[in-house]
């Protein structure tokens, strides 16, 4: 799961007052001056890339980090701003390619994005590699973005190794069925409803433009992520239904094929991702480093009061060590 309108959620029941830490950090987000680039897709649509540029003698050889955001996230999500701020501090470049419909404008085609959108991730990374041919290239995926990235890494192992130096997936729902069930249990339903608050109006607008593909009445009956995926995600992206989507788009089964050095970071108290669904060492290739700390919530990983710099620093330490 991911962020909504630039916000991101950590459970209020995190120990040690971590929820207050996160909300304090959200109120003091770093200001990042992005340069937006619109790129046409091969199928006649567009995506927007938000670039963090840096000045320096390294030029095109300056390392570049690509961030794939979570559900309804964007370059203004707190984890994106925290990472870009840390990149700016060390003189690296960054870019946030927005999934379709997430950069502030509806996309042209009847297409959105989903947890198994590996072809889109592959095209984005190939495009970025062509724009920065000499830079060491790293990729981070958060939540849904991590799922799509891991799908690509495992499916395209040799091609991925020719493009990326290293990768990381943060708070990724590796088993979509387990995560889809968890988000509808108890207090987690608050988060589900919040995601649907923006997802449903977007889908309804798309249904009006493409009534032959989407059923507006079915979208009007959506009450959960399961029913949303049944009414919207599945028909838009070639799945027979939610169960088919969750089974085919889950990234856990692709971990064994990953050849790029990859950090997979999941907190064991993530409310959306049951600890029992996390991968074991035997389920991942030697290139994959599994980190499963007891605390951290969903894309939270707070450190000190009012700061969210533990996560970007952990990611950069991993990248610098590869």
**Residues that are catalytic:** 143, 270, 298
CB 270 within 8 A of CB 296: yes
Residue 94: strand pairing partners: 52, 65
Handedness of CA 162, 141, 308, 54 (dihedral sign): positive
CB 11 within 8 A of CB 269: yes
CB 204 within 8 A of CB 173: no
Across 105-243, the runs of DSSP E, i.e. the strands, are 137-142, 166-170
CB 142 within 8 A of CB 267: no
- The residue assigned the tokens 């959506």 is 222
Across 161-287, the runs of DSSP E, i.e. the strands, are 166-170, 262-265
| Sequence-distant (≥ 6) Cβ neighbours of residue 175 within 8 angstroms | 250, 252, 277
Greatest CA separation found in the chain? 57
């Amino acid at each position: 799961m991911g962020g909504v309108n630039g916000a991101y959620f950590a459970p209020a029941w995190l120990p040690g007052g971590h929820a207050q830490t996160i909300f304090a950090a959200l109120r003091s987000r770093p200001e990042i001056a992005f340069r937006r680039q619109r790129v046409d897709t091969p199928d006649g649509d567009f995506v927007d890339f938000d670039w963090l540029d840096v000045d320096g003698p390294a030029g095109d050889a300056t390392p570049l980090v690509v961030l794939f955001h979570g559900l309804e996230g964007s370059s203004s999500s707190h984890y994106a701003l925290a990472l870009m701020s840390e990149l700016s501090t060390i003189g690296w470049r960054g870019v946030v390619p927005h999934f379709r419909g997430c950069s502030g404008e509806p996309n042209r085609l009847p297409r959105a994005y989903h947890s198994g959108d590996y072809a889109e991730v592959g095209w984005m990374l190939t495009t970025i590699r062509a724009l920065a041919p000499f830079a060491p290239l790293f990729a981070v995926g958060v939540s849904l973005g991590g799922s799509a990235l891991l799908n690509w890494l495992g499916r395209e192992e040799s091609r991925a190794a020719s493009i990326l130096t290293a990768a990381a997936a943060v708070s990724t729902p590796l088993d979509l069925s387990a995560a889809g069930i968890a988000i509808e249990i108890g207090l987690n339903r608050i988060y589900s409803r919040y995601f649907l608050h923006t997802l449903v109006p977007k889908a309804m607008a798309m249904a009006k433009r493409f009534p032959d593909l989407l059923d507006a009445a079915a979208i009007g009956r959506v009450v959960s992520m399961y029913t949303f995926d049944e009414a919207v995600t599945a028909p838009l992206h070639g799945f027979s239904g939610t169960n088919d989507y969750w089974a085919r788009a889950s990234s856990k089964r692709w971990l064994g094929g990953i050849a790029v050095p990859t950090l997979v970071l999941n907190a064991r108290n993530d409310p959306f991702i049951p600890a029992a669904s996390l991968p074991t060492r035997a389920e991942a290739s030697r290139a994959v480093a599994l980190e499963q700390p007891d605390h951290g919530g969903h894309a939270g990983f707070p450190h000190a009061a009012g700061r969210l710099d533990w996560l970007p620093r952990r990611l950069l330490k991993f990248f610098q060590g590869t």
